[in-house]
Amino acid sequence: MNASTTNFFEAIGAPVVDIARAWGSMFGCGLRTLRAIAMARIAWREVIHQSYLIGNRSVPFITVTLGFLGMISVYQVAMQIKQIIPDFTMLGPAFIQIMIREFAPTITGLMIATRVGSGIAAEIGSMTVTEQVDALRMCNADPIVYLIVPRAIACMVMVLMLSIYAVLVSTISGMLMANGAFDINMRTFLSLQLTNGDDIVIGAVKALAYGFSIPIIAGNAGLTTSGGSEGVGWATTRAVVSTSFAVVVLDFLISAAGYIFT
């Protein structure tokens, strides 16, 4: 084997090995987090603190993004309906159903992935490059238990709560749009007629899954940061993409499971 073919195989192989290693470390991190939660090694005060940090600045962010999403979705669908049969009675119920099952948790998950995922990666990444994580290890404080578990629990709870809030915000903004632009009665719009228990379960499972995976992936990006302060910037950007993509993949998997089992 001459040098150029070796180089070729290395060039092809290296990214594959890197990706495999990254997935391995991510799943390892997830498993260790689950084990720590199962063993009840949880610092509740830190969980509350993290919940506050996650929730605090996310509320206005979710309000704006889901408010606009609710308005434009209702507007565009109503414009379509108007051209075919001007019967708007099912618009509200269908909108509320798909918000609960799909868009409220998923868009909330994406927003939290963006805002909180990048924040976690930056925070833990800078602790890694300044050797604070090593200092934790030397004191027998497992970085997973100490840093990731509280964030994972807080984030699960907060994504669930914020998803509920997102349903409210998008429903209200959609209802106002329906009423203002198409003269749809608010009572008609606000109906849970199409929503059943399955939709709520699917939406909740999505929220919890996003909430758990975001801190794991972002935290793992932070813990594997290398290359000094510049590395922190790269870990942060990597975390934004990986967490957002994880939300999309989980959305697909849970939707598919929901479709098959209901």
Give the residues lining the site for another protein (CB under 8 A).
60-61, 64-66, 68-69, 71-73, 75-76, 79-80, 94, 98, 101-102, 110-111, 114-115, 118-119, 122-123, 125-127, 130-132, 134-141, 194, 228-230, 232-234, 236-237, 240-241, 244-245, 248-249, 251-252, 255-256, 258-260
Q: Which residue, 136 or 204, is less far from another protein as judged by CB?
A: 136
- Rounded to whole angstroms, the Cα distance separating 235 from 253 reads 26
Closest residue by Cα to residue 159 from 120, 104, 226: 104
Phi, then psi, of 226 in degrees rounded to 5: -140, 165
We find the least distance from the C-beta atom of residue 186 to another protein, in angstroms, to be 21
The amino acid at residue 12 is I
Nearest to 165 by CA among 48, 49, 56: 56
Alpha-carbon Rg for the chain, nearest whole angstrom, is 22
In whole angstroms, how close is the CB of 156 to another protein at the nearest point? 21
Q: Which is nearer to another protein, 186 or 249 (CB)?
A: 249
Mapping DSSP to helix (H, G, I), strand (E, B) and coil, where does residue 85 land?
A: coil
Instruction: List the end-to-end C-alpha distance of the chain, in Å, as a whole number.
Output: 55
Smaller CB separation from another protein, 22 or 75: 75
Instruction: Using DSSP, state whether 115 is helix, strand or coil.
Output: helix
Closer Cβ to another protein, 38 or 260, answer by number = 260
Give min distance, CB of 232 to another protein, in A: 6
* Minimum distance from residue 60 beta carbon to another protein (Å): 7
Q: By C-beta, is 188 or 255 nearer to another protein?
A: 255
Residue type, position 62, single letter: I
